């Protein structure tokens, strides 16, 4: 391309320089044409240069944007990851808090509030043709003596041991709670008083059959139990006070036994 | 330089700057209603300090819970530190956490990723 242009330039230049053609009518026209051609060539070159520069600029701008976008994306991913981490931490803390709010810290049994909730639920969903639930209120016999004689730490250890025995004696569907002090409550859903009594008898046998070591001494403990069947329509607290009345009777009758509350409502 | 001395609230950390000693301390939980209002001045302080002083900057964090906008603000501060580190400033971060809550330490380690300046996470 360049070679051809150079050849042409030489040819035209020599024609224009030839003195014998000086007055030729085409000489001026050729001179004008040659100048015009060169101007056009220069213009094309300038346009190409500008166009290339613009293209380069746009390309670099695009690369810059892509890099920035990648950077922002990476940053956002990090932000989301860390934020999710904090949320997960909060959720786990919430779950732990909830769990600890329904447990008795000493025995890890359900606490009174949790069992009340459970009873209210059962009472609300009870159907008239089926037993709703039985409550058994347990009280450790002569517990005060342990506290007085061996101290409260020994008493606490005895309660923990008793809680273990109760947990092992009940069915999967039953709940055991520490009601307060040395009082426990067992909630037995969907059973009659007699069926419930069989479960509670297992607890009594378990307590009788296991010595509890306190300060190097082997103690044999017993519990007294009062049981009541929830009656459809009655309030939970009424069921509880009926069980409590039965517990009183069990204590009166000599302890280490179960009394059933079955007086007609 | 105007120093920061903001006491903690239930939802915001305490923030104390000391340009004479080149230190900044953030301590507590952070889930502010308006994170821009809280962290705007902190980011400004870091930016101004790094621009005007040839001194080192030691950032100490004792942050527990951070909501999303606080996570972003802390990342912004680290970006400023990273840029300063690139220009030869001596900057560092020490993040203390309660070792009973290992999760906070793990999250601090996540922040640390991609930071090339001295960054230590200390359980205690």
pLDDT value, residue A78: 95
pLDDT score, position A170: 95
Number of C-alpha atoms within 13 angstroms, CB side, residue A188? 25
Domain extent listing, chain A: 1-101, 112-261
> B5-123 has which CATH code?
3.30.750.24
What are the tens digits of pLDDT across the range A75-84? 999 999 999 9
Percentage of chain B surpassing pLDDT 70?
A: 100
Distance of CA A248 to the CA centre of its chain: 44
Q: How confident is the model at residue B54 (pLDDT cuts 50, 70, 90)?
A: confident
As a whole number, the mean pLDDT across chain A is 93
**Interface contact flag, B107 A78, Cβ < 8 Å:** no
Residue A179 has pLDDT above 90, yes or no: yes
- Answer yes or no: do B110 and A86 touch at CB < 8 A: no
pLDDT value at residue A137: 98
Q: Chain A: nearest CA to B7, how far in angstroms? A: 23
**Test mutation, A82, A91, A95, chain B, max B CBs within 10 A:** A82
Contact call for B107 and A75, based on CB within 8 A = no
Active site residue A182: yes
In chain B, the residue whose alpha carbon lies closest to the alpha carbon of A74 is B114
Q: Which of A42, A117, A182, A213 is catalytic?
A: A182
* pLDDT band at A98; cut points 50, 70, 90: very high
Taking an 8 Å cut-off on Cβ atoms, the answer to whether A82 and B103 are in contact is no
- Average pLDDT estimate for A207-223: 87
Q: Where are the domains of chain B?
A: 5-123
What six digits make up the tokens of A62? 């695009």
ipTM for this model:
0.92
Answer whether A82 sits within 8 Å of B71, measured CB to CB.
yes
First to last CA, chain A: 117
Overall average pLDDT of the B110-120 stretch: 96
Residue of chain B with shortest Cα separation from A71: B114
Nearest CA in chain B to A93: B101
Residue A216: what pLDDT? 83
Higher confidence at residue B57 or residue A210?
B57
The CATH homologous superfamily of the domain defined by A112-261: Reverse transcriptase/Diguanylate cyclase domain (3.30.70.270)
Instruction: Indicate the pLDDT class of residue A265, thresholds 50, 70 and 90.
Output: low
For an interface test with B, the pick among A76, A86, A92, A97 (most B C-beta atoms closer than 10 Å) comes out as A86
């Amino acid at each position: 391309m360049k070679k051809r242009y150079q050849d042409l330039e030489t040819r035209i230049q020599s024609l224009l320089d030839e003195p014998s053609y000086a007055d030729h009518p085409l000489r001026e026209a050729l001179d004008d044409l040659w100048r015009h051609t060169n101007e056009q060539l220069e213009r094309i070159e300038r346009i190409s240069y500008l166009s290339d520069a613009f293209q380069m600029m746009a390309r670099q701008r695009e690369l810059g944007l892509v890099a920035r976008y990648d950077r922002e994306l990476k940053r956002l991913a990090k932000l989301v990851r860390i934020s999710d981490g904090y949320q997960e931490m909060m959720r786990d803390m919430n779950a732990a808090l909830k769990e600890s709010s329904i447990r008795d810290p000493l025995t890890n049994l359900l606490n009174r509030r949790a069992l009340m909730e459970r009873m209210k639920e059962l009472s609300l969903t009870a159907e008239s043709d089926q037993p709703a639930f039985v409550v058994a209120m347990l009280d450790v016999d002569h517990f005060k003596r342990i506290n007085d004689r061996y101290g409260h730490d020994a008493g606490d250890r005895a309660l923990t041991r008793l809680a273990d025995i109760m947990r092992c004696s009940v069915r999967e569907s039953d709940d055991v709670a520490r009601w307060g002090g040395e009082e426990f409550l067992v909630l037995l859903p969907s059973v009659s008083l007699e069926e419930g009594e069989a479960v509670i008898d297992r607890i009594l046998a378990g307590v009788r059959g296991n010595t509890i070591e306190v300060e190097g001494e082997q103690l044999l403990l017993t519990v007294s139990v009062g049981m009541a069947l929830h009656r459809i329509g009655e309030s939970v607290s009424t069921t509880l006070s009926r069980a409590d009345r039965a517990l009183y009777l069990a204590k009166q009758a000599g302890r280490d036994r179960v009394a059933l509350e079955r007086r007609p409502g | 330089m105007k120093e920061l001395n903001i006491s903690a609230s239930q939802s915001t950390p305490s923030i104390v700057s000391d340009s004479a000693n080149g230190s900044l301390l953030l301590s507590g939980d952070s889930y502010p209603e308006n994170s821009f209002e809280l962290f705007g001045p902190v980011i400004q302080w870091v930016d101004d300090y790094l621009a005007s002083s040839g001194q080192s900057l030691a950032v100490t964090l004792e942050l527990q819970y951070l909501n999303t906008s606080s996570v972003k603000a802390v990342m912004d501060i680290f970006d400023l530190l990273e840029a300063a580190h690139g220009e030869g400033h001596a900057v560092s971060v020490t993040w203390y956490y309660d070792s009973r809550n290992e999760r906070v330490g793990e999250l601090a380690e996540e922040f640390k990723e991609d930071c090339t300046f001295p960054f230590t996470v200390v359980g205690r």
